[in-house]
A = this chain, B = another copy of it.
Amino acid sequence: MARVIVDVMLKPEILDAQGQAIARALPRLGFSGVSAVRQGKRFEVELDGPADEAAISDVRKMAETLLANTVIEDFTVTVAE
Protein backbone atom coordinates (compact mmCIF):
# COMPACT_ATOMS: atom_id res chain seq x y z
CA MET A 1 0.00 0.00 0.00
CA ALA A 2 1.31 3.42 -0.93
CA ARG A 3 0.24 6.96 -0.18
CA VAL A 4 0.19 9.64 -2.85
CA ILE A 5 -0.19 13.32 -1.97
CA VAL A 6 -2.07 15.74 -4.21
CA ASP A 7 -1.51 19.40 -3.37
CA VAL A 8 -3.92 21.84 -4.97
CA MET A 9 -3.18 25.57 -4.88
CA LEU A 10 -4.79 28.56 -6.58
CA LYS A 11 -2.79 29.68 -9.62
CA PRO A 12 -0.41 32.52 -8.72
CA GLU A 13 -2.42 35.04 -10.77
CA ILE A 14 -5.67 34.24 -8.91
CA LEU A 15 -6.44 36.36 -5.84
CA ASP A 16 -6.28 34.21 -2.70
CA ALA A 17 -8.62 36.04 -0.33
CA GLN A 18 -8.31 33.45 2.45
CA GLY A 19 -4.53 33.58 2.38
CA GLN A 20 -4.58 37.39 2.38
CA ALA A 21 -6.93 37.43 5.37
CA ILE A 22 -4.53 35.17 7.27
CA ALA A 23 -1.51 37.28 6.33
CA ARG A 24 -3.31 40.43 7.50
CA ALA A 25 -4.37 38.82 10.78
CA LEU A 26 -0.85 37.74 11.73
CA PRO A 27 0.57 41.13 12.90
CA ARG A 28 -2.52 41.66 15.08
CA LEU A 29 -1.82 38.28 16.67
CA GLY A 30 1.79 39.15 17.38
CA PHE A 31 3.48 37.44 14.43
CA SER A 32 5.82 39.46 12.23
CA GLY A 33 8.14 38.54 9.38
CA VAL A 34 5.54 36.96 7.10
CA SER A 35 5.17 38.59 3.69
CA ALA A 36 2.41 36.40 2.22
CA VAL A 37 0.26 33.36 2.88
CA ARG A 38 -1.51 31.21 0.33
CA GLN A 39 -4.05 28.57 1.29
CA GLY A 40 -4.75 25.42 -0.67
CA LYS A 41 -5.91 21.86 -0.31
CA ARG A 42 -4.02 18.67 0.42
CA PHE A 43 -5.34 15.22 -0.42
CA GLU A 44 -3.81 12.01 0.91
CA VAL A 45 -4.74 9.19 -1.48
CA GLU A 46 -4.16 5.65 -0.19
CA LEU A 47 -3.57 3.16 -2.98
CA ASP A 48 -4.32 -0.56 -2.79
CA GLY A 49 -1.15 -1.35 -4.72
CA PRO A 50 2.28 0.24 -5.19
CA ALA A 51 2.76 3.80 -6.44
CA ASP A 52 4.05 2.75 -9.84
CA GLU A 53 3.86 4.84 -13.01
CA ALA A 54 0.37 3.63 -13.95
CA ALA A 55 -0.99 4.43 -10.49
CA ILE A 56 0.59 7.89 -10.44
CA SER A 57 -0.83 8.57 -13.89
CA ASP A 58 -4.29 7.56 -12.57
CA VAL A 59 -3.95 9.88 -9.59
CA ARG A 60 -2.94 12.67 -11.97
CA LYS A 61 -6.14 12.12 -13.98
CA MET A 62 -8.11 12.06 -10.72
CA ALA A 63 -6.59 15.38 -9.68
CA GLU A 64 -7.37 16.94 -13.05
CA THR A 65 -11.00 15.80 -13.19
CA LEU A 66 -12.07 15.70 -9.55
CA LEU A 67 -9.70 17.25 -7.03
CA ALA A 68 -8.60 20.44 -8.79
CA ASN A 69 -10.38 23.04 -10.88
CA THR A 70 -7.63 23.49 -13.45
CA VAL A 71 -9.11 26.77 -14.68
CA ILE A 72 -8.04 28.46 -11.44
CA GLU A 73 -5.90 25.86 -9.64
CA ASP A 74 -2.57 24.10 -10.12
CA PHE A 75 -1.82 20.72 -8.59
CA THR A 76 1.23 18.61 -7.82
CA VAL A 77 1.32 14.85 -7.27
CA THR A 78 4.03 13.37 -5.03
CA VAL A 79 4.57 9.94 -3.53
CA ALA A 80 4.74 10.08 0.27
CA GLU A 81 7.85 8.45 1.76
Contacts and interface: CB of A to CB of B under 8 A. Distances in A.
A41 B43 contact: no
Count identical subunits in the complex.
Answer: 2
A15 interface: no
Interface string A1-37: 1000001110000000001001001100101011111
A42 B1 contact: no
A39 B35 contact: no
A8 to B, nearest CB: 8
Contacts of A45: 34, 36-37
B67 A29 contact: no
- Which of A22, A39, A45, A47: most chain B CB closer than 10 A? A45
